[in-house]
Amino acid sequence: MTPIALTIAGSDSSGGAGIQADLKSFAALGVYGASAITALTAQNTTGVSGIHPVPAAFVAAQIDAVFSDLVVGAVKIGMVTQAETIAAIADGLKRWAPRHVVLDPVMVATSGDRLLAAEAVDALKAMLFPRASLITPNLPETAALLNEPVAESEAAVEDQGRRLLAMGCRAVLVKGGHAHGAESIDYLIDGERTIALAAPRIATANTHGTGCSLSSAIAAGLAKGEDMETAVRNAKAWITAAIAAADRFAVGRGHGPVHHFHKYYPD
């Protein structure tokens, strides 16, 4: 059977993040991608100049249209913008009960522009965390979700991750890309253990869509039948290679995109 993943997220008009990055990630990893768009953004590599939310009822209609016809193996949730949209997504997940849900709590774009309304954060935690197989916050997002400073030690990262785990999700991947040092270390935390996943830190400004792409790559692995640890390990290896190849692109004047199809483009 063809593996299928659904992304529920916002559209990036410059093509580097959001729905566009998710579909590229699915395709690069051999998974058929479907989408439900939560918001339109006027966006490029230098920033976000406008956000136009899709009505919550129409987000629900997109989700129902996909699930009523396609056998969805995994769902990735990204930019959700407002509480009404979060409620519609939560209701859709309840109706269709997908086996795997990867939630990337996108709060701020690479450019620094806020993408999730402050009043929607509590709704995100209350309605979507309990339905998530995995949430994938970076270090600043982890701190913001807990309303405290960014963790600066492995012990502090694990402590924050376990407190997010207690909010109802089955696993947490705290991403270490915003930290410093020769390695970028992500921490996969579940009810039994913490696994540190290290990769060389790559010096590049072209990191637009990194978080979207990683969470989508994990969803792709789950849709193909991989267990959580395998899906996360494979996705991290893939996104590391995509970041390493990002400078082969010359796209935009700001934070350019990662290279989703680095395996297939000639050097």
**Which are the catalytic amino acids?**
175, 207, 209-212
Q: Are 206 and 167 spatial neighbours (Cβ–Cβ below 8 Å)?
A: no
Strand duo 4-12 + 74-77: pairing: parallel
184 — phi, psi (to 5°)? Answer: -100, 115
Alpha carbons 117 and 228: distance in angstroms, whole number: 30
Give the whole-angstrom CA distance, residue 5 versus residue 217: 10
Count Cβ atoms within 10 A of the Cβ of residue 149 and give its class: 0-12 exposed, 13-18 middle, 19 or more buried.
exposed
- Distance between CA atoms of residues 71 and 64, nearest Å: 12
C-alpha 239, offset from chain centre: 12
- Cα distance between residue 147 and residue 225, in whole Å: 35
Distance CA 137, CA 161 (A): 9
| Residue 53: strand, helix, or coil | strand
118: which 2 tokens?
């402050």
Q: Is 168 left (phi over 0), alpha (psi -120 to 50) or beta?
A: left
Residue 45's CB: how many other CB atoms inside 10 A?
22
| Distance, CA of 43 to CA of 227 (rounded, Å) | 35
